[in-house]
Amino acid sequence: MPALDQLRLKHPEIAADFTIDQHWERYGADEHGMWRTLYERQAKVLPGRAAQEFLDGLAKLDLVSDRIPEFERLSDGLEKLTGWRVVAVPSLVPDDIFFDHLAHRRFPAGQFIRTPQQIDYIEEPDVFHDVFGHVPMLAHPVFADYMQAYGKGGQRALSEFGALKNLARLYWYTVEFGLIEKPEGLRIYGSGIVSSRTESIYAVESPSPNRIRFDLERVMRTNYRIDDFQESYFVIGSFEDLFQETYKDFAALYTKLASGPNYSPGDVLAGDRVHHRGTHTYIGGSHAA
């Protein structure tokens, strides 16, 4: 992650909290065209795969296919719904800065958009991933509260507990790659999935990945991979359940997590509730963790 002085070369106006001006007027036709291409691809694959809460957010925010959204206008609408705003940053920001933004209901979004060569894979989150992928869920009141609580929890994990790795896994397996169980079947809500055409299909339809019932401690002990489709997804029952499970003091849990096993992304454990075709079955045994 580049330091502030380095970023200042390209973004002279960068602030101490790593925000920059979106400079919406500087996007070219090709950049708006890339947004449109990505948007239209997702509009085709998401119905029947994405959680209704995500699709509702997309509709409420009036995100449209034909141009990269202007963060100020988008934020004015979002703020009326849940009090969140979107701020522009050059790329990934340091953890403490990220948590501070979330704790204040500001979502830092990459200002740039991927190039045609990067259409299916980028290492750093761009405006399509960050805005199309993340912002619709921020229009959902419970998820909006969860994200702010996560930011505050991140500040504690960093300053008091040294438990960043455990907490980052929670973000990864919910905010970025979460699935939710609905009466109609499993649906995606994680931004890393909903912003990817191929993973949107894979996460719901492929027989290959494990789909394991969300369990806070289990998730916090599980490593993740950043270079390929996930080998395991964790499935929540509802956003209310997720918020209830996490809106409690993690101090005792962090102490417990400091010893005991860590799991590999593909592991299935005795006691995991594994979902099959929208229902779940138990794999025998008791939870080892």
Residues that bind ligand PHE (CB under 6 A): 146, 149-150, 153, 156, 170, 246-250
Q: How far is the CB of 285 from ligand PHE (least distance, A)?
A: 28
Q: How far is the CB of 160 from ligand PHE (least distance, A)?
A: 9
191: partner contacted, choices ligand PHE, Co ion, none (Cβ within 5-8 A by kind)? Co ion
110-129: contacts with Co ion (CB under 5 A): 125
**Tokens 């907490």, residue?**
167
Helix axes 141-156, 71-82, angle to 10 degrees: 100
CA–CA dist 95, 165 (Å, integer):
11
Q: Are 166 and 74 in contact (CB under 8 A)?
A: no
Closest residue to Co ion using C-beta atoms: 191
CA–CA dist 23, 71 (Å, integer):
10
Q: Are strands 210-213 and 85-89 parallel, antiparallel or unpaired?
A: unpaired
Buried b or exposed e, range 156-179, using 16+ CB within 10 angstroms: bbeeebebeebbbbbbbbbbbbbb
Count the neighbouring beta carbons within 10 Å of the beta carbon of residue 35.
24
Q: Considering only residues 19, 82, 148, 191, which one is a binding residue for Co ion as defined by CB under 5 A?
A: 191
CA–CA dist 153, 178 (Å, integer):
19
Closest residue to ligand PHE using C-beta atoms: 153
User: By CB under 5 A, is residue 196 in contact with Co ion?
Assistant: no
Q: Please give the structure tokens belonging to residue 88.
A: 């522009």
150: partner contacted, choices ligand PHE, Co ion, none (Cβ within 5-8 A by kind)? ligand PHE
247: partner contacted, choices ligand PHE, Co ion, none (Cβ within 5-8 A by kind)? ligand PHE
Nearer to Co ion, 111 or 191 (CB): 191
Nearer to Co ion, 134 or 275 (CB): 134
Candidate segments 41-49, 144-152, 183-191, 261-269, binder of Co ion by CB under 5 A = 183-191
Q: Please give the structure tokens belonging to residue 272.
A: 């995991």
Site residues for Co ion per CB under 5 A = 125, 191
